[in-house]
Amino acid sequence: MKRLSEQYKQDIVPVLQKEFGYTNSLAVPRLDKVKINVGISKALKDDKYLEVMVKTLERITGQKPVKTISRKAISGFGIRQGMVVGLAVTLRRQRMYDFLEKLIRVALPRVRDFQGVPEYSVDEKGNLTIGFTEHLVFPEINSDEVEKLHGLEVTIVTTADNKTEGKKLFQLLGIPFREGKRTTKKKKRQGPPVKSKAADKSDETKE
């Protein structure tokens, strides 16, 4: 199986160039960076959560996360100015491709009842955001060692001009999109959290 970076150069670029009429291969939509974010609302009351989240991102990305600092106080949420409110990692070049290979070929298939990524996850600028309610779907995480679960958000940023180009690029990279479903996100409705297959096995063991 080809590495994702090789697949893009050898197979995907010619297809995009032909479909969208680019005369210069350098103008073809490409991946720019991948951003992984974790909100740490739970860590505001439990310091162990912050430690778990930092270690999780380090394992998954191979890179130390940057702490996101609150610029102002929000009393309603118990947030003070200068408080750590999130963690973020930005991946580029080969690390970006390595992470996406793992995301597409390992992590997504491990999501329980996975039916594809919703089309509305691609924004009008051609970027894709995928949310995970549990970090267990990544192979670096051993479910037997996990004491605290948390979610994370992955944003894949491209140089595409619009949603159509961005979605086509993601499809060629191997990201499966949900078919026959709504293309716009519903408001106000929140479904049950999506668990990974690993979490199911962990629950059965506890019982």
Q: In what order do the strands lie in the sheet with 152-158?
A: 66-69, 84-91, 31-39, 152-158, 128-132
Looking at residue 157, what is its pLDDT? 94
Mean pLDDT, residues 64-87 taken together: 64
Looking at residue 169, what is its pLDDT? 92
Report the CATH superfamily, name and number, of domain 31-176+192-197.
Answer: Ribosomal protein L5 (3.30.1440.10)
Across the chain, where does the E strand assignment appear? Answer: 31-39, 66-69, 84-91, 128-132, 152-158
Q: What is the pTM of this model?
A: 0.74
pLDDT averaged over the chain?
Answer: 77
> Band of the pLDDT at 91, cuts 50, 70, 90?
very high
> Band of the pLDDT at 144, cuts 50, 70, 90?
low
Tell me the percentage of the chain whose pLDDT exceeds 70: 68
Token pair, residue 152, equals 């994370």
pLDDT at 197 over 90: no
Closest by CA to 16, choosing from 186, 171, 183, is 171
Cα(155)–Cα(172) distance, rounded to whole angstroms? Answer: 17
Which pLDDT tens digit goes with each residue over 21-75? 888 888 899 999 999 888 766 555 666 777 777 888 888 888 888 876 665 555 5
Closest by CA to 143, choosing from 88, 86, 195, 65, is 195
Mean pLDDT, residues 144-169 taken together: 83
Cα(133)–Cα(108) distance, rounded to whole angstroms? Answer: 12
Looking at residue 78, what is its pLDDT? 54
Per-domain residue ranges of the chain: 31-176+192-197
